[in-house]
Chain A
């Protein structure tokens, strides 16, 4: 899937770039689904020595095995494919704990994956401005309900129902780096029951 042009938004909304190989003592790459394509594109400008110092953590989601064999063939020093971000999280934490200053972090795929991995990497001590990101694949959002604080993954419509408390929530661009989530606010707070028609905003 090609890259998405996000419309202009408020300043808290993250913007994403294009992965490029940078010099460093190691390369930690975390990707989900079509995010694999960003890594494969980056591989066009790198050599075996680069990949020997690389650690790829990949969550295929709905893409199944479409990209995994190509990623494996890159010859990364460590390669892991897991069923979900939650399953990969302990490995991500351990990888960050073990690496030294000079390690480059590359994130690609959905906003949910990049946001959560970014939160881990910044908590481990890497300035967020030093972490590379590239959006690929689904534009579905990870949303936090500002009322019950529950998080709903893969939100594609506006409004949407909170998967925890059931309120209909308006999808805001307001983003929390700490939670790696956008905010959802009750859409009928002032006029209960007046819920606009759902629009599919994201795919």
Chain B
């Protein structure tokens, strides 16, 4: 699988449970040396050799971008998920050698902003941690509003409040605390950019509220990686490589292409970056577009599919791969 970015051979230097759901992993370069620098908001794709299956999941880098000695990620266990986060929690041990991708940033800070307003929900805190490192080094103006389920599941909430006094505001769901978004947005000085990372509902809420309040589209940023949805198995004909590929119930189309030895590009594997966009040559059936890359018109047009998250139901699907 050569289709992502360049790969890095790393060794797991630390595995630290943070709370009931989240575990932190630290990677150093195998054999020593510096890792590539990155910018706040970047993610890396971690390769997991799970029996016969190669799992590839994207995780945000949360460490200080200026620290090239190690990368740190936090993984929230999803017991209903397809197995990547469970593998990280149960199989990955200190000293293990792994392969991760070079960092890619789809959620970078807009450094023209005069102020950065960050809104995090749950594990969506991780990209902001690297961004806050970056901004505090350059004396940037930022403010974090972080919504957590309970104090005990408030991943890094206490550390962040201590590290950035006065800039961090925590909201506990179980205490019926909620971000007063309208008031918050109404009081921001000109030149503020807002960033949101968390559940889909939260992201939509921020985009629609900011839009209604007259915020420029360019000043609202979000990141959400989707897990590939499961669905009925289907068959794909790849016209360029002349192969017929079976996509399993819990397998993504991208994973099926990779397993068949077809070189398919990707960066995020979560429906966000657009890298894996593939032309459809012919089809008889219906697309299940789950990505947030294609426009509604493109989705209806039947000429494109994002194999990382989207599926197909029907008789035939022929792709330009």
Contact string against A for B residues 201-233, beta-carbon threshold 8 Å, 1 for contact and 0 otherwise = 000000000001111111100000000000000
A25 touches B216 (CB 8 A): no
Query: Using Cβ atoms and an 8 Å threshold, which residues of chain A touch B217?
Result: 129-130
A residues contacting B by CB (< 8 A) are: 22-25, 96-97, 99-104, 124-127, 129-130
Give chain B nearest CB distance to A27 CB in angstroms.
Answer: 9
Query: Using Cβ atoms and an 8 Å threshold, which residues of chain B touch A24?
Result: 213-214
Query: Using Cβ atoms and an 8 Å threshold, which residues of chain A touch B190?
Result: 96-97, 99-101, 103, 124-126
Give chain A nearest CB distance to B214 CB in angstroms.
Answer: 3
Shortest Cβ-Cβ A-B pairs, 9 listed: A125-B191, A24-B214, A130-B216, A102-B214, A127-B218, A101-B188, A102-B213, A125-B190, A125-B114
Query: Using Cβ atoms and an 8 Å threshold, which residues of chain B touch A127?
Result: 216, 218-219
B219 touches A22 (CB 8 A): no
Knowing that A102-B215, A130-B217 touch, tell me 12 more A-B residue pairs with CB under 8 angstroms. Answer: A23-B213, A23-B214, A24-B213, A100-B186, A100-B187, A100-B189, A101-B189, A102-B214, A125-B112, A127-B218, A130-B216, A130-B219
B214 touches A104 (CB 8 A): yes
B residues contacting A by CB (< 8 A) are: 112-114, 185-192, 212-219
A101 touches B192 (CB 8 A): yes
Give chain B nearest CB distance to A50 CB in angstroms.
Answer: 12
A103 touches B114 (CB 8 A): no
Which has the most chain B C-beta neighbours within 10 Å: A23, A24, A100, A124?
Answer: A100
B218 touches A130 (CB 8 A): yes
Give chain A nearest CB distance to B40 CB in angstroms.
Answer: 20
A100 touches B188 (CB 8 A): yes
Query: Using Cβ atoms and an 8 Å threshold, which residues of chain B touch A126?
Result: 190-191, 216
Main secondary structure of the interface of B (DSSP, over half): loop
Q: List 22 A-B contacts (CB under 8 A).
A: A25-B213, A96-B190, A97-B190, A99-B190, A100-B187, A100-B188, A101-B188, A101-B189, A101-B190, A101-B192, A101-B213, A101-B219, A102-B214, A104-B214, A125-B113, A125-B114, A125-B191, A126-B191, A126-B216, A127-B219, A129-B217, A130-B216
Give chain B nearest CB distance to A98 CB in angstroms.
Answer: 9
A25 touches B186 (CB 8 A): yes
Q: Name the residue on A nearest B216 (C-beta).
A: A130
Given A25-B213, A127-B218, residue A102 in contact with residue B186 (CB < 8 A): yes
Bound together, the chains give a CA A102 to CA B114 distance in angstroms of 15
Bound together, the chains give a CA A127 to CA B218 distance in angstroms of 7
Query: Using Cβ atoms and an 8 Å threshold, which residues of chain B touch A129?
Result: 216-218
Q: Name the residue on B nearest A125 (C-beta).
A: B191
Give chain B nearest CB distance to A94 CB in angstroms.
Answer: 12
Bound together, the chains give a CA A124 to CA B189 distance in angstroms of 9
Bound together, the chains give a CA A24 to CA B219 distance in angstroms of 14
